């Protein structure tokens, strides 16, 4: 689907966004393994989290979803049933990688696959630790979906993450629920810790200390009411849009501000953005706040090291901001970007080129010159949700109407994105 985005005069208003994608996946998976029912409100409306629900239903978990409220009847750690057919993870790397941790422990064999983009994403990173725990996982070329997972009794392992990936950490921890002793995961670079928080909230015995996570096996998880905060990675598009479009003033309510995710705000503030967090509160161990942003000129800067890992999903939209910033933006240590839904180093550089910005591309990063004046463009999402939405944000400050090819990709995480953007146009 093509979508035309015209330049915006000003953005203003108060919005609440769909639930955080990362947290929605985890709440659904853990609620399924819990005893009793859970009611999850503000569950992500994105296709990725629907994929997780679909897989769980195919594994025999009763689920009722009405709008953004999802009721999950937990079947307990040992209540999953062998699926009748191949499980479909769609476009969702989180679904296939995290669910693999659970499937690795089941007394049945399952197959899980997804779309063309997912078929190109590396799975060795979860196959390797899960195989060490005792699961048998076959993959195309030993690395790519579909996966055929023969589960069984698992050994506890002490595992140092070779890549900073919360999906890998989660796969190991979920398998660890079924292991024969305490599972330990160590991470040199801190990654999002929603799994650890949710496990503790549902009753698991889990300890985290300076890069080390230790989980005791076979807890009784208890179902409960859970509220998913608005997704900060979705909010990122409106934060950048409001910064770019002169005279804007936007408040995003109930945003998840977990410290392992909120580096985005620090990056924006360090660039000179006017951002305020109001009414900071907590639900189920997750920090939540309202974020107010006003348009402001930004300086640009360098994103590298642990910060890159902490803002990895926001780099496409930060790149657009960097291009119009005073000094430009350098992104380093971002090789992981190459194996997201698309090669985001290539797809960001390609779309910036269409706006008239010449980007220097490195194996693991980008050098984006500043002071750009965007010309109207014909963008290509390449089927990647975050690329589609980043381009839409850039189009707000182009010198005429732009078109986004494959604009519907946004619905993977944020089906309401274009409507919300329209509502903010004053």
Pick 216 or 336: Cβ nearer ligand S3P: 336
Regarding 192 and contact with ligand S3P (CB under 6 A), the answer is yes
Shortest Å distance, C-beta 177 to ligand S3P: 17
Residues 405-424 contacting ligand S3P, CB under 6 A: none
Shortest Å distance, C-beta 336 to ligand S3P: 6
Binding mask 168-187 for ligand S3P (x = CB under 6 A): --x-----------------
Regarding 121 and contact with ligand S3P (CB under 6 A), the answer is no
Regarding 127 and contact with ligand S3P (CB under 6 A), the answer is no
Regarding 167 and contact with ligand S3P (CB under 6 A), the answer is yes
183-186 and 158-160 as β-strands: parallel, antiparallel, unpaired?
A: parallel
Regarding 311 and contact with ligand S3P (CB under 6 A), the answer is no
Pick 92 or 183: Cβ nearer ligand S3P: 92
Return the residue of 42, 52, 94, 106 that touches ligand S3P, per CB under 6 A: 94
Regarding 307 and contact with ligand S3P (CB under 6 A), the answer is no
Calpha distance 266→173 (Å, rounded) = 29
Regarding 165 and contact with ligand S3P (CB under 6 A), the answer is yes
Q: How far is CA 289 from CA 185, 231, 235, 276, 277, in A?
A: 30, 11, 12, 10, 6
- Catalytic (active-site) positions: 313
Q: Are 214 and 182 in contact (CB under 8 A)?
A: yes
Calpha distance 182→197 (Å, rounded) = 17
Regarding 312 and contact with ligand S3P (CB under 6 A), the answer is yes
Beta strands in 349-401 (DSSP E): 360-362, 365-368, 378-380
Calpha distance 272→404 (Å, rounded) = 29
For 240, the 3-state DSSP assignment is: helix
Regarding 214 and contact with ligand S3P (CB under 6 A), the answer is no
For 172, the 3-state DSSP assignment is: helix
Shortest Å distance, C-beta 25 to ligand S3P: 6
Window of 130-138, 165-173, 210-218, 246-254 that interacts with ligand S3P by CB under 6 A: 165-173
Q: Are 133 and 102 in contact (CB under 8 A)?
A: no
Neighbours of 232 (CB within 10 A): 25
- Using left for φ > 0, alpha for ψ between -120 and 50, and beta otherwise, residue 15 falls in beta
Calpha distance 96→86 (Å, rounded) = 12
Pick 25 or 224: Cβ nearer ligand S3P: 25
Shortest Å distance, C-beta 363 to ligand S3P: 18
Pick 94 or 295: Cβ nearer ligand S3P: 94
Count the site residues for ligand S3P by CB under 6 A.
10
Window of 66-74, 160-168, 250-258, 297-305 that interacts with ligand S3P by CB under 6 A: 160-168
Return the residue of 8, 157, 166, 298 that touches ligand S3P, per CB under 6 A: 166
Residues 17-46 contacting ligand S3P, CB under 6 A: 22
Regarding 380 and contact with ligand S3P (CB under 6 A), the answer is no
Kindly calculate the radius of gyration of the chain based on its CA atoms and give it in whole angstroms.
Answer: 21
Regarding 92 and contact with ligand S3P (CB under 6 A), the answer is no
By residue count, the chain amounts to 426
Q: Are 370 and 325 in contact (CB under 8 A)?
A: yes
Q: Are 367 and 360 in contact (CB under 8 A)?
A: yes
Calpha distance 295→315 (Å, rounded) = 19
Pick 23 or 103: Cβ nearer ligand S3P: 23
Enter the tokens of residue 339: 């194996």
H or E stretch at 256: strand 249-256
Return the residue of 115, 196, 313, 380 that touches ligand S3P, per CB under 6 A: 313
Regarding 261 and contact with ligand S3P (CB under 6 A), the answer is no
Calpha distance 287→317 (Å, rounded) = 23
Binding site for ligand S3P (CB under 6 A): 22, 94, 165-167, 170, 192, 312-313, 336
């Amino acid at each position: 689907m093509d979508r035309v985005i015209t330049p915006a005069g000003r953005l203003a208003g108060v919005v609440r966004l769909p639930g955080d994608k990362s947290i929605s996946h985890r709440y659904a998976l853990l609620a399924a393994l819990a005893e009793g029912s859970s009611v999850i409100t503000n569950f992500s409306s994105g296709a990725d989290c629907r994929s997780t629900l679909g897989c769980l239903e195919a594994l025999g978990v009763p689920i009722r979803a009405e709008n953004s409220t999802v009721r999950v009847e937990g079947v307990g750690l040992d209540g999953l049933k062998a699926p009748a057919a191949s499980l479909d993870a769609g476009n969702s790397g989180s679904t296939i990688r995290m669910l693999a941790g659970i499937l690795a422990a089941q007394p049945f064999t399952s197959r899980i696959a997804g779309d063309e983009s997912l078929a190109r994403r590396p799975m060795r990173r979860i196959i390797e630790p899960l195989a060490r725990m005792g699961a048998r996982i076959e993959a195309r070329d030993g690395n790519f979906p579909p996966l055929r997972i023969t589960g069984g009794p698992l050994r506890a392992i002490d595992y140092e993450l070779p890549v900073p990936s919360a999906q890998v950490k989660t796969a190991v921890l979920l398998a660890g629920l079924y292991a024969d002793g305490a599972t330990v995961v160590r991470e040199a670079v801190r990654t999002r810790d929603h799994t650890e928080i949710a496990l503790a909230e549902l009753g698991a015995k889990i300890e985290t200390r300076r890069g080390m996570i230790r989980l005791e096996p076979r807890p009784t998880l208890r179902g409960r009411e859970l509220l998913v905060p608005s997704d900060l990675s979705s909010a990122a598009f409106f934060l950048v849009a409001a910064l770019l479009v002169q005279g804007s003033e936007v408040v995003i309510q109930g945003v998840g501000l977990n410290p392992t995710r909120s580096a985005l705000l620090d990056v924006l503030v360090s660039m000179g953005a006017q951002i305020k967090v109001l009414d900071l509160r907590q639900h189920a161990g997750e920090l939540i706040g309202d974020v107010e942003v006003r348009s402001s000129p930004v300086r640009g800067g360098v994103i590298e090291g642990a910060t890159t890992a902490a803002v990895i999903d926001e780099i496409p939209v930060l790149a657009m901001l960097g291009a119009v910033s005073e000094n430009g933006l350098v992104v380093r240590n971002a090789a992981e970007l190459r194996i997201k839904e698309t090669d985001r180093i290539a797809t960001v550089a390609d779309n910036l080129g269409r706006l008239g910005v010449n980007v220097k591309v490195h194996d693991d990063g980008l050098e984006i010159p500043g002071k750009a004046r965007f010309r109207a463009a014909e963008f290509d999402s390449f089927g990647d949700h975050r690329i589609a939405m980043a381009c839409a944000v850039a189009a707000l400050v182009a010198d005429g109407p732009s078109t986004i090819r494959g604009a519907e990709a946004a619905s993977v995480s944020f089906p309401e994105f274009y409507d919300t953007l329209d509502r903010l146009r004053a």
